Structure 1
């Protein structure tokens, strides 16, 4: 069993934590994504997938730079579980998710319902639901559908909306929030 399977931390993420502790306390703002300014010198994302049984708890950004190896791990984690296809996820979406999680002040990881969606998967879901967009940003690696047990759809959506950095959809009937890095907009109830 690998370290990531035993602890939920990747080796690279753990090294990132150690590196982050050596950083000077004052945050660097010059390269920081607007919604995370003042958040410090690291960005962390915590998620699990009920579909694959996988989890990830990792630092993906340190000192104004994304960690390419960790982004590759996130691409795999956020793959279309139905087809096992992965795509390069837009890091701006991960930033929105991380900032929202931080604003919610929870230790519970997000449950990832959907990250990347292949066109085949999107067409199948669209045939079963009116709530699936024909040109969904999921197919571009720019969206995620997330859930938290400890927070309501409304609380999660308000946190994401406060980032003012993309689309936020409330799906109260299905108990999840859609977050994307497309145009700023919101919908649902």
Structure 2
């Protein structure tokens, strides 16, 4: 970042995060307020995840007072990459918003475990050859879906929170202990 003083006020991402560190993020909204939260009912949006596959962690504020933080969104894109091929694409911001809103609705303090974010066509084809549960035209290949787990919440609790957002698809995979969240058509499936 350019540190020149051009007379305008500039703030680094690190300074911005520091400024918000001592503040309360957003009171967890009730399920009935989920749609309002996605439309801007919160001043700050934060996403916390870790990957059991890569050992990486992310805890970032990616939206403040109506504006997405470009560098933070880029970090999320890199984190949610196809870890098998290392391919990175832009994750649909609506999916990130659904994940963040659902996390707030559950009032969970632990980060999500990301099982699958972006999937390259090659990875999707390989997974599809091993499982009937992988869609041929999966939204994962468009950066519009995530498979997530929380040890402190059940699949049912996670799915209810995601469905309360009424912003995309929610799949329950109780046998594998994860929830699929996407920004596609509003729908639910699984048990």
Bucket of the pairwise TM-score, normalised by the shorter protein: 0.7 to 0.9
Change (3 A) 1:109 1:19: closer
Give the equivalent residue in structure 1 for 2:138.
136
**Cα deviation code 1:61-95 (max 9, x no counterpart):** 01101011111110000000000111100000000
Give the equivalent residue in structure 1 for 2:128.
126
1:106 Cα offset (Å): 1.1
RMSD of aligned residue pairs (Cα, Å): 2.0
Give the conservation status (yes or no) of the 8 Å contact 1:13–1:70.
no
1:21 Cα offset (Å): 6.7
Q: Give the gaps of 5 or more residues in structure 2.
A: 1-11, 27-34
**Cα deviation code 1:10-30 (max 9, x no counterpart):** x836623515879xx9xxxxx
**Cα deviation code 1:27-78 (max 9, x no counterpart):** xxxxxx7443574211000000000000000100011010111111100000
1:110 to 112, 116, 124: 112
> How many residue pairs align between the two structures?
170
Normalised by the length of structure 2, the TM-score is 0.83
Alpha-carbon distance in 2 for matches of 1:180, 1:17: 31
Give the equivalent residue in structure 2 for 1:156.
158
Q: Tell me which structure has the larger Cα radius of gyration.
A: 2
Give the equivalent residue in structure 1 for 2:68.
66
Alpha-carbon distance in 1 for matches of 2:132, 2:14: 39
Deviating more after overlay: 33-42 vs 136-145: 33-42
Alpha-carbon distance in 1 for matches of 2:15, 2:123: 34
Give the conservation status (yes or no) of the 8 Å contact 1:13–1:59.
no
**Cα deviation code 1:95-151 (max 9, x no counterpart):** 000000000011100000000000000000000111100000000000000000000
Normalised by the length of structure 1, the TM-score is 0.84
Change (3 A) 1:58 1:13: farther
